[in-house]
């Protein structure tokens, strides 16, 4: 979807704004539409990153993204990223990152995490790798609830779907989700802090692997006409949809075909990618899968099995 990607302004010229034709073929993206965001019922008033939820969930963010940083992660792990910047090979960087995770969170030392013969719960059973594998196996399972709740905490975007629509406010579906989230986090070793560092490392890798890029074109197979809320339709045929706070996309058009009767094609900001299957070579397997943080986005529908 190159027509949706913001163009870098020439030196000395004005930046490209949300209603500039170079960003999208639909030239009627007025400021009100560009500010379209997740509804207030799906946003928290505070979060733990450098942008409020209303801004990062807006169409304007997709059209012109900026870096997202989880509070406190870079300062705490500065030496790790200093070392990573000196390593050219991605596999070596992944190994360095995993060694740091083990050392910092004591992942290979269960007794240090409180495990003993008298312990009722093994705190070492769930770490960031098991969490990602669980998501790749079933994004609607307990691991999916933990990851979606992390997005709620860090970015202020509430989960709208987990096995079923969660609805607004206090309802049985949301209470079930919160219970599953709590069970997934209970007695784990700083699991949310592990995800903080995982996201920050993923951003470091995406910046290096896609130098100069601001977006990736990704695909999601979807079944059913009403599987995603469609908020509006642009003049060039793109639709504005509201994604769940965390969703799976694939970099492979063919793979996405296998998961629905239609395929959604979307220019996803790099800064909204939590992790991807090639982030840790040899440790994660998936259909070239990317975990994408949600909000409003302009996308287009492709019929499954179509040849572009």
Q: Residue length, the chain?
A: 308
- Residue 257, C-beta contacts closer than 8 angstroms, at least 6 positions apart: 221, 263, 304, 305
**Diameter of the chain by CA atoms?**
67
Rounded to two decimals, what is the model's pTM?
0.87
Q: Which of 202, 181, 203 is nearest to 192 (CA)?
A: 181
pLDDT tens digit sequence for 225-259: 557 888 999 888 899 999 999 999 999 998 888 88
Q: Which of 51, 42, 39 is nearest to 231 (CA)?
A: 39
DSSP 8-state class, residue 10: P
Task: Spell out the domain ranges in the chain.
Answer: 94-209, 215-303
pLDDT tens digit sequence for 166-190: 977 778 999 999 999 998 888 787 8
Tell me: pLDDT of 65 over 90: yes
Q: Which alpha helices (DSSP H) does the chain contain, by range?
A: 31-34, 53-56, 59-63, 73-76, 78-84, 90-105, 128-137, 142-155, 172-185, 191-209, 253-257
């Amino acid at each position: 979807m190159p027509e949706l990607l913001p163009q870098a302004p020439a030196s000395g010229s004005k930046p490209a704004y949300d209603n500039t034709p170079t960003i999208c073929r639909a030239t009627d993206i007025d400021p009100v539409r560009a500010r379209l965001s997740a509804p207030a019922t799906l946003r928290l008033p505070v979060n733990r990153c450098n942008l409020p939820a209303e801004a990062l969930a807006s169409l304007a963010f997709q059209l012109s993204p900026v870096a997202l940083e989880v509070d406190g992660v870079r300062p705490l792990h500065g030496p790790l990223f200093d070392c990573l910047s000196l390593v050219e090979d991605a596999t070596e960087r992944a190994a360095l990152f995993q060694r740091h995770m083990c050392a910092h969170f004591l992942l290979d030392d269960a007794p240090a995490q409180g495990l003993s013969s008298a312990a009722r719960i093994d705190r070492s059973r769930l770490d960031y790798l098991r969490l990602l594998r669980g998501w790749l196996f079933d994004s609607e399972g307990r691991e999916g609830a933990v990851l979606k709740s992390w997005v709620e905490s860090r970015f202020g975007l509430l989960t709208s779907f987990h096995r079923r629509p969660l609805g607004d406010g206090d309802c049985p579906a949301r209470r079930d989700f919160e219970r599953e989230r709590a069970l997934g986090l209970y007695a784990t070793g700083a699991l949310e802090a592990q995800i903080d560092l995982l996201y920050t490392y993923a951003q470091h890798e995406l910046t290096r692997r896609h130098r100069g890029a601001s977006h990736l074109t990704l695909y999601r197979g979807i079944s059913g006409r009403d599987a995603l809320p469609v908020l509006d339709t642009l003049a060039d045929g793109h639709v504005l949809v509201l994604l769940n706070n965390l969703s799976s996309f694939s970099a492979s058009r063919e793979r996405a075909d296998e998961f629905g009767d239609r395929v959604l094609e979307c220019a996803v900001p790099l800064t909204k990618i939590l992790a991807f299957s090639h982030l840790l070579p040899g440790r994660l397997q998936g259909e070239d899968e990317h975990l994408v943080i949600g909000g409003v986005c302009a996308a287009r529908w492709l019929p499954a099995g179509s040849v572009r």
